[in-house]
Amino acid sequence: MSMNPFCEIAVEEALRVREAGLASEVVAVSVGPRQAADTLRTALAMGADRALHIQTDEEVQPLGIAKLLAAVAAKEQPGLVLLGKQAIDDDSSQTGQMLAALLGWPQATFASKLEVDAAAEKATVTREVDGGLETLRVALPAVVTADLRLNEPRYATLPNIMKAKKKPLAVTTPQELGVDPAPRLQTLCVEEPPKRKAGVVLGSAAELVQRLREEAKRS
Amino acid sequence: MALSSWRALRPARSALASAAGLGLRSLSTLVLAEHAGGALAPTTLHTLSAAAKLGGPVSLLVAGDATQGAAAAAARAAGVSTVLTAEDPCLAHGLAEPTAALLAAVGTKHAFTHVLAPSSTYGRNILPRAAALLDVQAVADVQEVKDGDTFVRPIYAGNALATVRVTGGGPRMLTVRTTAFAAAPASGGNAAVQVVGAEELAAAREAAGGSQWVGEDVRKSERPELGQARVVVSGGRALKSAENFDRFMEGLADRLGAAVGASRAAVDAGYAPNDLQVGQTGKVVAPDLYIAVGISGAIQHVAGMSASKVIVAINSDGDAPIYQIADYGLVGDLFALLPELEAELDKLGDIKK
């Protein structure tokens, strides 16, 4: 198990905001079984100040996670919540949008550039949209989800991994937060996608063009 | 302060849940239309085909600051029974906060049993927000409709297909993988056009203001749109430079009437702009013909193109993973093979003439 790549980018961006003097503290949060603590230690080793582990062995879907994070945000009152744009296991791309809805905060999804204007309590965010880029100005507090090109996450150095072991990591549960994150989607089955038939390596460009013409006639 | 806002929505949600609940009333589907410049986006027509699979009447919601052109196009689209329009300055540029509030309010008002949006950046930005307002777990990237509650979606970058059933109350809210459904005909329909109620519009206005549109940098291209093209030629790192990428990919695309795509490596190296990226984090395409040039075939790239009908790989490394999914392959030096291929395609052009 390792940290979702988009979450690494979100952690990195949070650290950069703090290093620019625009945030006082970075808190990393994860929901899941005991092993999720390892992922939080990675965030602490990258430079997060403290961590919160919402421990549960049950399956939690994006709406449930969003409710748990909303409860944390209500307590912690952050100025900015950063998430990855999607998790590469269930590929849902929903949690950030749902969290913003539950909090009634603005959202800036698929961010490739973030500029925080702390004095004006606003952030200017460039988003990767289908046709190119779009820039929004959102009032803080806001929810931002990180796209791949937001930054290049740093590696945790050995001394920082050692230091991370001493950083505070609090543990709570959905019950303590007063949230019922029960799943709403029941997975009936998981299958392998249909296999493609074996292909052939051709000898020349002429042969390729001939084969493609035959394919075109067939379809 | 924060939590109170969604808790306050709960009464509305439970009223909806009882109205829309499990087969007690007939199916009705709302589709959020993606549109630009007075025309429906092709993603909307693909989403309509997914809506048609559900059975029951389909309504199309056209929201924006100028909706007349798109609403007229929506009324002509096949399979649409009602077009709902919402026009207000706050809905310009499809900002998530007002548009999601509108979608949730319209869904509740008409007690739709299903609410769909394309799984484009537009739909994925708005629909999950609307779903949370209604306390509904949305289903992302649906590629098959089994029945009104049961859907198939790809997980793990398309390496597995999960069949999921939605449980509990509330409308079923889905984003639709547009490449998995054919486009509904843009003509042949004759839907009634109706303006949404003042109450629903008020919900949108109330939710607006937290974000402000500043500007956009949209690439203008004469080529077919990447997500819709019948032929896609994609270049990878092996093209070695932006100049080579332009020269060879454009050369092939011109001859085939194709859209140009790229691997993440080519985008990160600066050979191609971000919005050409095909893969798990970029666009998902499923053209009739996909030609991968100098692309090794990492799973994140394959996630975006493995549903293509015919895949051709051109690579110097005959062991590259791309050959495991390619129907036809050429192995050798790109810079020798591509001009040969261009010459062969030019000959073909002569034959056709």
Q: Which pLDDT score is estimated for B219?
A: 74
CA distances from B233 to A185, B277, B290 (A): 37, 12, 6
Q: Which pLDDT score is estimated for B16?
A: 42
Specify the amino acid at residue A87: A
**Nearest by CB to A199, which of B212, B289, B326?**
B326
**Nearest by CB to B138, which of A94, A104, A137?**
A94
Q: Which pLDDT score is estimated for B188?
A: 96
CB neighbour burial string for B303-318, b if at least 16 within 10 angstroms, e if fewer: bbbbbbebbbbbbeee
Please state the separation of Cα A45 from the chain's center in Å.
Answer: 18
Do B168 and A101 lie within an 8 Å CB cutoff?
A: no
Q: Alpha-carbon distance A111 to A17, whole Å? A: 14
- Please check whether residue B68 touches A, CB under 8 A: no
Do A107 and B213 lie within an 8 Å CB cutoff?
A: no
CA distance B192 to chain A (A): 30
Q: Which pLDDT score is estimated for B10?
A: 43
CA distances from A183 to B55, B86, B138, B312 (A): 27, 33, 11, 41
Q: Alpha-carbon distance B133 to A94, whole Å? A: 13
Do A142 and B5 lie within an 8 Å CB cutoff?
A: no
Q: Which pLDDT score is estimated for A54?
A: 98
Considering the four listed CATH numbers 3.40.190.170, 1.10.3720.10, 3.10.330.20, 3.40.50.1220, the one that applies to the domain covering B231-348 is 3.40.50.1220
Q: What is the DSSP string of A161-195?
A: HHHHTTS-EEEE-HHHHT-----SEEEEEEEPPPP
**Residue B292 CB-half CA count within 13 A:** 35
CA distance A50 to chain B (A): 22
- Any known ligand binding at B237? yes
Do B329 and A202 lie within an 8 Å CB cutoff?
A: yes
Predicted TM-score (pTM) of the model is 0.90
* For residues B277-290, average pLDDT: 91
- Please check whether residue B89 touches A, CB under 8 A: no
* pLDDT at residue B217 tops 80: yes
Q: Tokens representing B287?
A: 């053209």
- Any known ligand binding at B281? yes
> Which of A191-195, B56-60, B193-197 is the least confident region?
A191-195
CA distances from A72 to A29, A75, A99, A172, B303 (A): 9, 5, 11, 10, 34
CA distance B261 to chain A (A): 13
* pLDDT at residue B82 tops 80: yes
pLDDT band at B59 (very low <50, low <70, confident <90, very high): very high
Please state the separation of Cα B120 from the chain's center in Å.
Answer: 3
- Any known ligand binding at B212? no
pLDDT by residue (tens digit) across B13-37? 444 444 444 444 589 999 999 999 9
Dihedral pair phi/psi, residue B215, rounded to 5°: 175, 175
Tokens 């929901």 correspond to A31
* pLDDT at residue B238 tops 50: yes
- What are the sequence ranges of the domains in chain B? 29-207, 231-348
pLDDT band at A1 (very low <50, low <70, confident <90, very high): confident
Quick one: closest CA in A to B349, which residue? A209
Average pLDDT, chain B: 91
CB A59 within 8 A of CB A174: no
Task: Decide if B29-207 and B231-348 have a common fold.
Answer: yes
Which of A107, A117, A122, A218 should we substitute to test contact with B (largest number of B Cβ atoms within 10 Å)? Answer: A107
- Any known ligand binding at B296? yes
Q: Which pLDDT score is estimated for B20?
A: 43
Which tops the pLDDT comparison, B231 or B21? B231
> Which of A27-36, B220-229, B242-251 is the least confident region?
B220-229
CB A29 within 8 A of CB A52: yes
| β-pair type (A142-146, A107-117) | parallel
From chain A, pick out residues whose CB is under 8 angstroms from the CB of B280. Answer: 88, 91
Tokens 């399956």 correspond to A59
* pLDDT at residue B353 tops 70: no
* For residues B193-213, average pLDDT: 97
Q: Quick one: CA dihedral B252, B256, B257, B262, positive or negative?
A: negative
Task: State whether ipTM is beyond 0.90.
Answer: yes
Q: Which pLDDT score is estimated for B350?
A: 58
CA distances from B254 to B35, B223, B224 (A): 27, 9, 11
CA distances from B338 to A209, B248, B332 (A): 12, 7, 10
Which of A97, A121, A210, A217 should we substitute to test contact with B (largest number of B Cβ atoms within 10 Å)? Answer: A97
Q: Alpha-carbon distance A66 to A60, whole Å? A: 10
CA distance A75 to chain B (A): 10
- Any known ligand binding at B351? no
Do A193 and B154 lie within an 8 Å CB cutoff?
A: yes
CATH code reported for the domain at B29-207: 3.40.50.620
Residues sharing a CB contact under 8 Å with residue A214, sequence separation 6 or more, in sequence order: none
* For residues A135-164, average pLDDT: 96
Q: Which pLDDT score is estimated for B320?
A: 95
* pLDDT at residue B206 tops 90: yes
Does a cis peptide bond (omega within 30 degrees of 0) precede residue A141? yes
Q: Alpha-carbon distance A82 to A17, whole Å? A: 11
* pLDDT at residue A155 tops 90: yes
CA distance B233 to chain A (A): 14
Where on the phi/psi map is residue B57: left (φ > 0), alpha (ψ -120 to 50), or beta? beta
Specify which residues B142 forms β-bridges with: B176
Q: Tokens representing A157?
A: 């150095």
> Which of B46-55, B212-221, B326-335 is the least confident region?
B212-221
Q: Alpha-carbon distance B107 to B197, whole Å? A: 12
**Nearest by CB to B133, which of A73, A101, A133?**
A101
Residues sharing a CB contact under 8 Å with residue B93, sequence separation 6 or more, in sequence order: A134, B213
pLDDT by residue (tens digit) across B137-150? 999 999 999 999 99
Q: Which pLDDT score is estimated for B351?
A: 53
Do A206 and B344 lie within an 8 Å CB cutoff?
A: yes
CA distance B208 to chain A (A): 9
CB B278 within 8 A of CB B262: yes
Do A70 and B6 lie within an 8 Å CB cutoff?
A: yes
* pLDDT at residue B237 tops 80: yes
Strands of B88-187, DSSP E:
114-118, 139-142, 144-147, 150-155, 160-166, 172-176
pLDDT by residue (tens digit) across A180-219? 999 999 999 999 988 888 889 999 999 999 999 998 887 7
pLDDT band at B222 (very low <50, low <70, confident <90, very high): confident
* pLDDT at residue B7 tops 70: no
Do B140 and A136 lie within an 8 Å CB cutoff?
A: no
- Choose among B284, B277, B192, B286: nearest CA to B236: B277
H or E segment and range at residue A100: helix A95-103
